Structure 1
Amino acid sequence: MPRFEPFRALRYAGTDLDPLLAPPYDVLDDADVDALQERSPHNVTRVDVPRGGPDRYEEASETLGRWVDEGVLVRDAEPSFTIYRLRFTDGGGSERDVAGVLGALEVVDAGAGGVLPHERTTPKDATDRLELTRATQANLSPVWGLSLATGLAALLAEPGEPVGRLVDDADGRTVEHVWERVTDPGRVSAVRALLASDDVLIADGHHRYAVSRTYRDEVRAATGRDDTDAELTLTFVAELVADQLSVEAIHRLYAGVDPEELRAALDRFFVRTPTASPDAGTAAAMAADGFLVLVTADGAERLDPRPGAFDDVRSLDGVWLETALEGVAVSTAYQHGLDETLHAVTGGRATAAVLVRPVSLAEIGRTAREGLLMPPKSTFFTPKLKTGAVLRPLTL
Structure 2
Amino acid sequence: MALIKPFKAIRPTKDKAPYVASRSYEEYSKDELKSVLKYNPFSFLHIINPGFKFDKNITGKERFKLVHNRYLEFLEDAIFTKDNQPCFYLYQITKRDFKTLGFFCACSVLDYQNDIIKKHENTIHRREELFASYLNTVGFNAEPVLMTYSDNESIKALLQNEAAKEPHYNFTTTDKINHKLWKIEEKDTIAKLENAFGKIDALYIADGHHRSASSNLLAEKMKAANTSHTGNEAYNFFMTYLIPESEIRIYEFNRMVMDLNGYSKEEFLIQLDTHFRIEKKDDGLYKPTQKHHFSMYLDGEFYSLYLRKTVYEFTDALSELDTQILYKTILEPILGIHDLRNDKRISYGYGKYNLLKMKDSIDRGEFAVGFSLVPININEIKSIADAGLVMPPKSTYIEPKLRSGLAIYEL
TM, length-normalised to structure 1: 0.86
Which residue of structure 2 aligns with residue 163 of structure 1?
168
Of stretches 350-359 and 75-84 in structure 1, the one that deviates more from structure 2 is 350-359
Partners of 1:386 and 1:75 in 2: CA distance: 18
Equivalent position amino acid for 2:389 in 1 = L
**1:27-42 equivalences in 2 (<5 Å):** 27-42=27-42
Partner Cα separation in structure 2 for residue 310 and residue 162 of structure 1:
53
- Pairwise CA distance, 1:295: 1.7
Aligned to 2:254: 251
Per-residue deviation, 1:278? 5.8
Name the CA distance, whole Å, in 2 between partners of 1:124 and 1:334.
22
SS at 1:156 equivalent:
helix
Partners of 2:14 and 2:364 in 1: how far apart? 44
Partner of 1:316: 321
Residue 336 of structure 1: how far off its partner (Å)? 1.1
Match of 2:81 among 53, 74, 77: 74
1:365 matched to 2:371: no
Paired amino acid for 1:318:
T
What is the match of residue 54 of structure 2?
Answer: none
Work out whether residues 133 and 218 of structure 2, in 8 Å CA contact, stay in contact via their aligned partners in 1. no
Distance 1:374 1:135 in 2: 32
Residue 86 (structure 1) aligned with residue 86 (structure 2): no
**Whole-angstrom distance in 1 between the partners of 2:400 and 2:171:** 14
Q: In structure 1, what is the equivalent of residue 149 of structure 2?
A: 147
Q: Choose from 306, 315, 328 the match for 2:308.
A: 306
- 1:245-394 aligned at under 5 Å gives the runs 245-255=248-258, 257-258=260-261, 260=265, 263-276=269-282, 279=285, 282-283=286-287, 286-287=288-289, 291-312=293-314, 314-325=319-330, 326-328=332-334, 329-330=336-337, 331=343, 332-337=346-351, 338=354, 339-394=356-411
1:41-64 per-residue CA deviation (whole Å, 9 max, x = no partner) reads 121112234553342211111110
Amino acid in structure 2 at the alignment position of 1:336: Y
**Cα drift, residue 316 of structure 1:** 2.2
Number of aligned residues: 380
Structure 1 residues 246-255 or 45-54, which shifts more? 45-54
Give the equivalent residue in structure 1 for 2:7: 7
Give the distance between the partners of 1:344 and 1:101, measured in 2 at CA: 40
* Kept after mapping to 1: 8 A contact 2:255/2:370: yes
Secondary structure of the residue aligned to 2:296 is: strand
- How far apart, CA to CA, are the structure 1 residues paired with 2:271 and 2:103? 45
Is the 1:122–1:376 Cα contact (8 Å) retained in structure 2? no
1:100 matched to which residue of 2?
102
1:3 to 1:384, Cα distance in 2 relative to 1, 3 A: same
Mark the runs of 5 or more structure 1 residues left unpaired by the alignment. 91-95
In the alignment, which residue of structure 2 is the partner of 1:236?
241
Measure how far apart 1:232 and its partner are: 0.7
1:247 deviation in Å?
A: 1.4
Between Structure 1 and Structure 2, the one with more strand by share is: 1
Asked whether 1:64 is paired with 2:71, we answer yes
SS in structure 2 at match of 1:273 = strand
Residues 276 and 61 of structure 1: CA distance in aligned 2, closer, same or farther (over 3 Å): farther
**Partners of 2:64 and 2:46 in 1: how far apart?**
10
The answer to whether the Cα contact below 8 Å between 1:83 and 1:156 also exists between their aligned partners in 2 is: yes
Counterpart of 1:183 in structure 2 is: 185
Q: How far, CA to CA, are the matches of 2:224 and 2:145 in structure 1?
A: 24
Q: Which amino acid aligns with 2:177?
A: V
Relative distance call for 1:230 and 1:111 in structure 2 (3 A) is closer
- Residue aligned with 1:18, SS: helix
Q: Is the 8 A contact 2:5 2:105 kept in 1?
A: yes
Is the Cα contact below 8 Å between 2:172 and 2:179 reproduced in 1? Answer: yes
* 2:110 counterpart SS class: coil
Distance (Å, rounded) in 1 between the aligned partners of 2:124 and 2:132: 17
Q: State yes or no: 1:205 paired with 2:205.
A: no
What code does the residue aligned with 2:150 have?
Answer: L
Q: SS in structure 1 opposite 2:2?
A: coil
CA distance in 2, matches of 1:252, 1:88: 27
Q: Contact 1:175/1:383 (CA < 8 Å) preserved in 2?
A: no
> Percent same amino acid at aligned positions?
19
Structure 2: gaps spanning 5 or more residues:
52-56, 338-342
The amino acid of 1:237's aligned partner reads L
User: Is the 1:345–1:351 contact (alpha carbons within 8 Å) kept by the matching residues of 2?
Assistant: yes
RMSD value, Cα: 2.7
Tell me if structure 2 keeps the 8 A contact 1:100–1:153.
no
Matched letter for residue 379 of structure 1: T
| Cα deviations by residue, 1:81-112 (Å, 9 ceiling, x for unpaired) | 1111122233xxxxx32111111111238662
Preserved contact between residue 3 and residue 105 of structure 1 (Cα < 8 Å):
yes
Deviations 1:148-197 (Å, cap 9, x if unpaired)? 36333333112155222332354xxx422211110111211122222232
User: 1:82 corresponds to which letter in structure 2?
Assistant: Y
CA contact (8 A) 1:161 1:182 kept: no
Q: Retained in 2: the 8 A contact 1:9–1:79?
A: yes
